[in-house]
Amino acid sequence: MKLDMNSKLVMIGDSITDCGRAHPVGEASFSGLGNGYVALVDAMLNTEYPEFRVRVVNMGISGNTVRDLRMRWQKDVIDLNPDWVSLLIGINDVWRQFDHPLIREIQVLENEFEETLNELVGLTKSYVKGITLMSPFYLEPNKEDPMRNKMDEYGRIVGQIANKYNVEFIDTQAVFDEYLKHDYTATLASDRVHPNLRGHLLIANAFVRNITG
CA distance 177 to 138: 10
Q: Is 2 among the domain residues?
A: no
Q: Which of 74, 66, 110 is nearest to 90 (CA)?
A: 66
What pLDDT was estimated at residue 133?
98
Strand ranges inside the chain, DSSP E:
8-13, 55-58, 84-88, 130-134, 168-170
Q: Is 206 among the domain residues?
A: yes
The pTM (predicted TM-score) of the whole model is 0.94
State the catalytic residues: 15, 191, 194
Taking only the tens place, the pLDDT of each residue in 108-121 is 999 999 999 999 99
What pLDDT was estimated at residue 31?
85
If one counts the domains in the chain, the total is 1
Taking only the tens place, the pLDDT of each residue in 4-22 is 999 999 999 999 999 999 9
Q: Is 1 among the domain residues?
A: no
**Residue 12, domain CATH:** 3.40.50.1110
Q: Is 195 among the domain residues?
A: yes
Q: Is 148 among the domain residues?
A: yes
Taking only the tens place, the pLDDT of each residue in 114-163 is 999 999 999 999 999 999 999 999 999 999 999 999 999 999 999 999 99
> Could you tell me the CA-to-CA distances from 207 to 52, 133, 138, 175 in Å, in that order?
16, 10, 18, 11
Taking only the tens place, the pLDDT of each residue in 47-88 is 999 999 999 999 999 999 999 999 999 999 999 999 999 999
Q: Is 72 among the domain residues?
A: yes
Q: Is 3 among the domain residues?
A: no
103 — pLDDT class (breaks 50, 70, 90): confident
Taking only the tens place, the pLDDT of each residue in 24-41 is 999 977 789 999 999 999
Whether the Cβ atoms of residue 177 and residue 199 lie closer than 8 Å to each other: no
Q: Which of 141, 123, 142, 139 is nearest to 131 (CA)?
A: 123
212 — pLDDT class (breaks 50, 70, 90): very high
Q: What is the mean pLDDT of the chain?
A: 95
Whether the Cβ atoms of residue 114 and residue 157 lie closer than 8 Å to each other: yes
Which residues form the domain of 20? 8-212
